[in-house]
């Protein structure tokens, strides 16, 4: 019996000795796994922090790029606005220029027979259209033997002898003396290029110098003497330093209408007809007279 108890205690002791290394091994294994888990957690933390840093950097870059894009968009908007303003300004300038051109136009009528509207000032120039007799055209001006006109929105040239210039003068009502003179001077220039005919007073078919001045002012309701010597005493005298458009410039045996900037319009000679001269002092001036009031 005693031997059996000894054997049992020995067996228990032996089992205890053999289980100790196993427990120690299990403990080491658990500790290693914990260390690995901690290491993995730290690595994950590092990765996440790095990713957060990268994300923050990307966000900053994106913000910077967005700001650049916003700046570019703003610049485009500004450029677009500037372009719009420039276009509007050009449109206004064009309209103003067109309005100014329109204000310089005057009526004419095709006389004698139908005429061909041509692209240039030559009979060999390309034909644009035919203008029937007695049709009204807008006249831009006279260039040598041709007049630039528009008909049904088509612009070209016709022989000047085929265009009768309207002798209906614009109203002077409400204008100052200076403005009236400018209106008279502008009206007188319509007849540039028409014929000089001694002893006549017709602004379209022919007139001499005093007949030209008399007929221009007659269109505005003023009655002037017939001869140049008599016109030298018409209206009121003006000193040379105060000359203005519309004043009549009297010479010996000749008379003209001052149009500004030293220029005059007058029925000069049979060769030149009614023309514009650039220096009103091209001959001795006897008197300057102002007709408008």
Active site residue 250: no
From 209, 233, 250, 263, active-site residue: 209
Residues 194 and 272 sit within 8 Å (Cβ to Cβ): no
Q: Which residues are CB-contacts of 121 (< 8 A; sequence separation ≥ 6)?
A: 143, 144, 145, 146, 157
From 233, 250, 263, 266, active-site residue: 266
Instruction: Report d(CA 288, CA 250) in Å as an integer.
Output: 6
Read off the tokens for 8.
């049992």
Active site residue 263: no
Spacing of C-alpha 38 from chain mean position? 78
Put residue 199 in one of left, alpha, beta given phi > 0 → left and psi -120 to 50 → alpha: left
Chain position carrying tokens 């051109």: 101
Residues 289 and 237 sit within 8 Å (Cβ to Cβ): yes
Residues 197 and 209 sit within 8 Å (Cβ to Cβ): no
Instruction: Report d(CA 228, CA 217) in Å as an integer.
Output: 14
Burial 155-176 (b: 16+ CB within 10 A, else e): ebbbebbbbbbbeebeebeeee
First and final C-alpha spacing in the chain? 165
Residues 178 and 244 sit within 8 Å (Cβ to Cβ): yes
Active site residue 209: yes
Chain position carrying tokens 């080491």: 28
Beta-bridge partners for 142: 147
Catalytic residues: 209, 254, 266
């Amino acid at each position: 019996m005693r031997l059996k108890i000894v054997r049992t205690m020995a067996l228990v002791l032996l089992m205890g000795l053999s289980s100790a290394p196993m427990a120690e091994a299990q403990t080491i294994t658990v500790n290693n796994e914990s260390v690995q888990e901690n290491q993995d957690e730290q690595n994950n933390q590092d990765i996440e922090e790095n990713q957060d840093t990268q994300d923050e950097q990307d966000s900053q870059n994106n913000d910077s790029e967005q700001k650049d894009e916003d700046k570019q968009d703003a610049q485009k908007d500004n450029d677009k606005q500037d372009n719009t303003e420039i276009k509007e300004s050009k449109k206004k300038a064009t309209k103003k220029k067109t309005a100014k051109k329109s204000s310089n136009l005057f009526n004419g009528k095709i006389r004698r027979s139908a005429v061909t509207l041509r692209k240039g000032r030559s009979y060999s120039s390309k034909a644009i259209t035919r203008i029937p007799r007695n049709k009204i055209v807008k006249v831009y001006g006279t260039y040598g033997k041709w007049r630039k006109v528009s008909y049904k929105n088509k612009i070209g040239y016709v022989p000047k002898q085929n265009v009768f210039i309207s002798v209906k003068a614009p109203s002077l009502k409400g204008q100052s003396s200076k403005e009236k003179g400018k209106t008279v001077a502008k009206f007188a220039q319509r007849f540039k290029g028409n014929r000089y005919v001694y002893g006549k007073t017709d602004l379209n078919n022919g007139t001499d110098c005093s007949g030209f001045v008399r007929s221009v002012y007659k269109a505005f309701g003023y009655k002037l003497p017939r001869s140049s010597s008599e016109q030298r005493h018409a209206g009121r005298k003006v000193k040379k330093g105060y000359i203005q458009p519309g004043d009549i410039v009297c010479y010996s045996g000749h008379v003209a209408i001052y149009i500004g900037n030293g220029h005059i319009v007058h029925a000069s000679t049979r060769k030149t007809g009614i023309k514009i001269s650039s220096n009103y002092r091209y001959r001795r001036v006897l008197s300057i007279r102002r007709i408008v009031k």
